[in-house]
Structure 1
Amino acid sequence: MALYTQESIERVKEAADMVEVVSPRAELRRVGARHVGLCPFHDERTPSFSVNAESKLYHCFGCGEAGDVIHFVETTEALDFPAAVEVLAERYGVELRRENEDPEAEQRRRRRERLLVVVERAAAYYARLLWGSAEARQAREYLAGRGLEEHVLREFRVGYAPEAWETLTAAALRSGLTAEEVTAAGLGQHGRRGGLIDRFRGRIMFPLADPRGRVLGFGARAMSEGQRPKYLNTSENELYHKGRQLFGIDRARAPAARGGRIVVVEGYTDVLALHQAGLREAVAIMGTALTQDQMSELGRAASTVFLALDADRSGEEAMVRAARQASGRGVELRVVRMPPGTDPAELIATEGAEAFAGRLDAAVSVPEFQVHRVLASADVETARGRDRALAELRPLVALTPERSVTRDELVRLVASRLDVPPDYVGTGARARA
């Protein structure tokens, strides 16, 4: 990808209003030529954060965090440098120029930009139908039955695709789009008779956006009992790649960057329920198959990742796979223990947001989670079964810090459940007085 010219970057810096960019993250007051306030990067009671509106620089005398307006957006919104430049350029109307962009690359970029506009218009169309169409009444009732309020549904641009076969595609073709562009954007497909039909019909539409909020595709839930599949995504295309997607990342990245943590759940309504409850650092992986691309995006958003997946076998296996993917990335994983058969949205609906927040506070490390998982399925009635469990548990206990309370507790737990001396489990545990 061609880089932006230095001239473009300098024009972005010049156009950006530093105080305006910082103010949503920190309440500033003017003191002479500077603006000061509480630092958005660490907790403090006395303001030590300073912004120079003229030089477009900030500095915290408490934690040492400093930089220019682009670096501020990178840090607070969990974006890389090019994305931060693009966000500011779009906000302040600066046209970006690229260095040495070859004609083919420029053509691909312009096509991508056109497809993004197409998908964005579709998202707006579906959102209007959800609230303005009589046909969408069942969808509205379903979402309300899940405890989801209108304001959060509008914030996430949740919509509805009508049951008719050609509503969206016919409108797109009339607007001047080609059939190839409609299918390339993932909105249409060729029917059995060869004509172009809507890919999504009679479904609740969840827009899937990138970290900047640009809609790349959709996840769609069926509304009728016999409709299959129950969930249908945009097919893989030039814009949308399911393995890279995190539902809600555009809304969660700033709160995650501020709080240093991000919460991972499985489904769309889980994210909506958590955001509605004030836990805005939540995203969904739309299933249990957490990919390396998704883990990389999570690591960019926050240093600690809380996995709140369903307490079934597939959810547990997904958390173990996630631990392998997080290895060497500088990401700390914590496992949130969910009640069997209950997802985060249901937990909040029945027990309140405090119940889920309490489970976040009680989250355990992956080794602790794995130890409990092995013990739950171990054959503790036979010596052979206990030996097998012990062989599986020793390396897990060894992953915890030596001479730590966590290791002590795990060693005592394993020794008790398997009825063996503590030194059979591992070294580094302190003996009880």
Structure 2
Amino acid sequence: MANGFFSEDKVSEIRERSNILEVVSDYVTLKKAGKNHRGLCPFHSEKTPSFMVNEEKQIFHCFGCGAGGNVFTFLMKAGNLTFPQAVEELAKRYGIRLPSREPSPAQKREVEKKEVLFQINRIACDYFHDLLTRRREGEIGRRYLSQRGAKDEMIEEHRLGYAPDAWNGLVGHLQEKKVRLEFASELGLIFPKKKGGWYDAFRGRILFPIFDVHGRIVGFGGRLIGQGEPKYLNSPESTIYHKGEILYGLQAAKSSIQEKDSVMIAEGYFDLLALHQNGFKQSVATLGTALTPHHIRTLKRYTKNLVTLFDSDEAGAKANLRSLPLFLEEEVAAKAIFLPKGQDPDEFLRKGNSKEFERRAAGAVPLIDFFFEWLLKNHDMKSIEGKVKVAQEGLGMIGRIPNPIRRNFYKKALAERLNVPQSFLDEAPSSRKTGSFEEGKASKTEVLERLPRSEEMVVGLMLHHPEWIPTISETGILQEFENPALKRMADVLKDLFEKKGKLDISEAMGSVDDPVRDGLSRLLFQQSDPAAAGSPERILKDCIQSIRKKKLRRDEGELLKKIREAEGGQGGNGLDALLMKRQELARKTKGF
């Protein structure tokens, strides 16, 4: 089954029957523009239309944000769908019957068990919520939440609950509901006694059900009322709950996040409730864990504008600094909201500071600027050693930024703070991580950088004249590409052609990772057929000559550098060998 669910033939049938122009038109108002249709991009804010759809090739591309692909890709991005969901959506739209999915017995058992676990959590949630809102035993919890300023609508929307300070309240309730107690134990709701039997895990606590993005309860957080430790008790990791993947409140916030095109990331349960209660529903909270790349990738489905709202103490500052590298590597220019020292969002908003909070949110500070200021504050700027440390740590962080333009701007900003020319930092050894190309994947920003013309034309020939792919491959020129993004694109096209003996552009778009797909769609929209100016054979010959001549110049430059180093160290025989190589290169260069 293709993609784990549907056969390749069925996916191809759906792709061929679908019309990307019709699908995109449900989301974007398109106007005819030559062979293409143009509109405002649904994936980022813009005033001038840069989003293009080509009905003939069944692809789309945005020249603003770089997104591109086929009808499946569009639907996945626009509707936050998985690939199987996009396939089902298109099949339904175009009246194509899909075969029923037949999972293996092991998969069936796993799915069935997960459903049981979700059901147990729902039973527990209803029990805790009923105790809090209706029962006499819940008076302590109601009084506590009232003191914390939580209103009834928040209690209801987030299904808050209360666990009385008793040992077997939930155990008895689960037994009445005929729940398998070993499953409840796996979820961390109850614990086994040493001499047999079970007892409640949550006692004397306010309960916060933790929902996944689909509205299913995956775990609980419990806040102790009164004295004792731990103050917060959270569900353990389980088959259905992974802390590094779940954000508290996202199921209630996602529509507001999309509407506001922004999300605030707080730390605690009560912070989240206070934010939602005061109208800032575009907010989520971490669950007693540091922000993870998975959290950021999840939020990026809804917005690219991420704002941290951590406590205004040393721990909060460290949390901001820890999260910065993650944001940079995920290509998110995150900001931070800072509250008065010693106050968290819950406390600040309960004091009636909603307008002041709004003002501070509007003035959120770019996290990398906060990092620079932190460096200056924590190192002795009067000493050379202190400045060196600031430069080294600053460049190390800047090196995590994939986009070269943004990287250079921040390098300039760091140089200004150090009161040195930018060239001073440019000469420092690069601490930038090697690009993901070395691992076989191209980052989007590198795909969109200025591309070598001859290499770009070779890829264009492969796209517009797939029948030339075997000839191009036989020349070996793809191995000599300078630009890793174009090399990755060319290798992908070659592999697809060799696999099927043909190249369907729309199908190819569904077979590659995002950066390659976005780069290919950009080339298809931006570049006309290279062979329009002459025969493919002539164009290919000229491109190969240009690529190889450029490579020889690069090789010669590297060789000259080695010769200078050898001369400085009185290289002897090593120098002679290098000089002979230079003569050989000179002969090859004359051949061009």
Q: TM-score band (shorter)?
A: 0.7 to 0.9
**Which stretch of the first structure deviates more once superposed, 213-222 or 391-400?**
391-400
Contact 1:246-1:286 within 8 A present in 2 as well: yes
1:207 is paired with a residue of what secondary structure? strand
2:183 is paired with a residue of what secondary structure? helix
Identity of aligned residues (%): 30
Contact 2:244-2:294 within 8 A present in 1 as well: yes
Contact 1:169-1:182 within 8 A present in 2 as well: no
Cα pair distance change 1:82/1:202, threshold 3 Å: farther
Aligned to 1:159: 161
Aligned to 1:57: none
1:221 is paired with a residue of what secondary structure? strand
Q: Give the residue type in structure 1 aligned to 2:113.
A: R
1:246 matches 2:228: no
Aligned to 1:370: 371
2:222 is paired with a residue of what secondary structure? strand
Q: Give the residue type in structure 1 aligned to 2:343.
A: T
Q: Which runs of 5+ in 1 are unaligned?
A: 11-21, 26-38, 45-64, 88-95, 416-420, 428-433
Cα pair distance change 1:80/1:141, threshold 3 Å: farther
Aligned to 2:122: 120
Cα pair distance change 1:160/1:74, threshold 3 Å: farther
Cα pair distance change 1:414/1:308, threshold 3 Å: farther
Equivalent-residue separation in structure 2 for 1:152 and 1:378 (angstroms): 45
Q: Give the residue type in structure 2 aligned to 1:178.
A: R
Q: Which one of 187, 194, 219 corresponds to residue 196 of structure 2?
A: 194
1:354 matches 2:355: yes
Normalised TM-score (structure 2) = 0.54
Contact 1:414-1:425 within 8 A present in 2 as well: no
Cα pair distance change 1:174/1:394, threshold 3 Å: closer
How far did residue 151 of structure 1 move? 0.5
How far did residue 307 of structure 1 move? 1.0
Asked which structure has the greater CA Rg, the reply is 2
Q: Give the residue type in structure 1 aligned to 2:325.
A: R
1:236 is paired with a residue of what secondary structure? coil
Equivalent-residue separation in structure 2 for 1:386 and 1:272 (angstroms): 43
Q: Give the residue type in structure 1 aligned to 2:393.
A: E
Q: Give the residue type in structure 2 aligned to 1:263.
A: M
1:301 is paired with a residue of what secondary structure? coil
Cα pair distance change 1:101/1:425, threshold 3 Å: same
How far did residue 411 of structure 1 move? 4.8
Q: Give the residue type in structure 2 aligned to 1:362.
A: G
Aligned to 1:110: 112
Equivalent-residue separation in structure 1 for 2:78 and 2:361 (angstroms): 24
Cα pair distance change 1:85/1:163, threshold 3 Å: farther
Equivalent-residue separation in structure 2 for 1:371 and 1:85 (angstroms): 46
Equivalent-residue separation in structure 1 for 2:407 and 2:75 (angstroms): 38
Q: Which runs of 5+ in 2 are unaligned?
A: 15-25, 28-40, 47-67, 90-97, 427-592
Aligned to 1:139: 141
How far did residue 102 of structure 1 move? 0.7
Aligned to 1:264: 265
How far did residue 362 of structure 1 move? 1.5
Cα pair distance change 1:332/1:397, threshold 3 Å: closer
How far did residue 150 of structure 1 move? 1.1
Normalised TM-score (structure 1) = 0.73
Normalized per residue, the structure richer in strand is 1
Aligned to 1:32: none
Normalized per residue, the structure richer in helix is 2
Residues 200-234 of structure 1: per-residue CA shift (max 9 Å, x gap) = 111100000100110011011111202x2111111
Contact 2:264-2:284 within 8 A present in 1 as well: yes
Residues 80-114 of structure 1: per-residue CA shift (max 9 Å, x gap) = 45578999xxxxxxxx9852311111111011112
How far did residue 170 of structure 1 move? 1.5
2:220 is paired with a residue of what secondary structure? strand
Contact 1:288-1:315 within 8 A present in 2 as well: no
1:332 is paired with a residue of what secondary structure? coil
Cα pair distance change 1:180/1:74, threshold 3 Å: farther
Q: Figure out how many residues of one structure are paired with residues of the other and give that number.
A: 369
Cα pair distance change 1:288/1:344, threshold 3 Å: farther
Q: How does 1:290-369 map to 2 (within 5 A)?
A: 290-369=291-370
